[in-house]
Amino acid sequence: MKDTPNRANAGKFIDPAVTAGGEPRASVALSHPQTLWFNTGTLCNIECLNCYIESSPSNDALVYITEAEVAEYLDQLDARGWGVTEIGFTGGEPFMNPEMIGMTRACLARGYEVLILTNAMRPMMRRKMREGLAALQAEYGDKLTLRISVDHWSADNHDAERGAGTFEKTLEGMRWLRDTGIRMAVAGRTMWDETDAQSRAGYAALFEAEGFEIDATDPAMCVLFPEMDESVEVPEITTACWGILNKDPKDVMCASSRMVVKRKGAEKPAVLACTLLPYSPEFELGATLEEAERDVALNHPHCAKFCVLGGASCSG
């Protein structure tokens, strides 16, 4: 698998230093590391219609990362002095990884806040996972947050993306999290013909009806992601764009985060510049955090549309 610019952007996003128009391409330095992400593996219990990482019950392009491998990168964080405060876990579905509870505990025990992205469905609801989560909540409280994928506040639109019945199954998991006292956030999508205010009003009504303590007006607690449609032409980001757009490079996700993945057949994990580009080799920075400290050229349509122009961030 490989992320590549399609015909809509033919001739663009080729040279990491120069745009198709011959202008210097913008790049972003790792200026203030805040979050280190771990991809737990691309296997998932469901297959969504528009999954950016192509997670499914059969996609193991990224294999399960282990607690020992996570601990090694936590050691590197100490050695490099990055100042990271948050560890994020994404997938696939993280709770399909049998070492998910152990990995989470290892991070919490070192003082990090932990964010887990999950669909809150059957993998999370297995007895072993529920017992582990309840124990972590009892010991670490709100240092642990689960961000639940609720694509839309209505069952019809959510199920259109994720499959019939998935909305109710996700709500079942969220109700258990509510009753267990585990801090929740939500990730939705903006692909429907709604304003931001309309979407947030819909989520607010859902949260109130279910008794979920989630502030739908807070973009960190109710994150609404734009769709990553690669059939749409997007402009390349030049160094001049920062001033034109009144945008600070420090606001772009790769200024504050990196992601660790384990590729199928690889001897060791690799560090990527971006959580959104797991299959693009040009965004693989090396095996260590030290190697991953170099600048990142904004040489992909997602860099422009999703991060610079869309202003999206995976972290709160």
pLDDT score at 304: 84
Residues 6+ apart with CB under 8 A from 43: 55, 56, 57, 58, 59, 60, 64, 91, 92, 93, 96
Number of domains in the chain: 1
Residue at 2 is within a domain: no
pLDDT, averaged in runs of 10, over the chain (316 residues):
59 92 96 98 92 91 98 98 97 98 98 98 98 98 98 96 96 98 96 92 98 97 81 86 92 95 97 92 96 96 82 46
CA 221 to chain CA centroid, nearest Å: 14
Residue at 1 is within a domain: no
Residue at 315 is within a domain: no
User: Cβ(217)–Cβ(200) under 8 Å?
Assistant: yes
Domain residue limits at 284: 7-309
CATH number of the domain within which 118 lies: 3.20.20.70
Residue at 18 is within a domain: yes
pLDDT score at 4: 46
Return contacts of 199-207, CB within 8 angstroms, 24+ apart: 199/153, 199/224, 200/224, 202/152, 202/153, 202/154, 203/150, 203/153, 205/153, 206/150, 206/153
Structure tokens at 57: 């019950």
Edge-to-edge strand list for the sheet holding 284-286 = 222-225, 183-189, 144-149, 113-118, 86-90, 35-39, 257-261, 270-272, 284-286
Residue at 314 is within a domain: no
pLDDT score at 276: 87
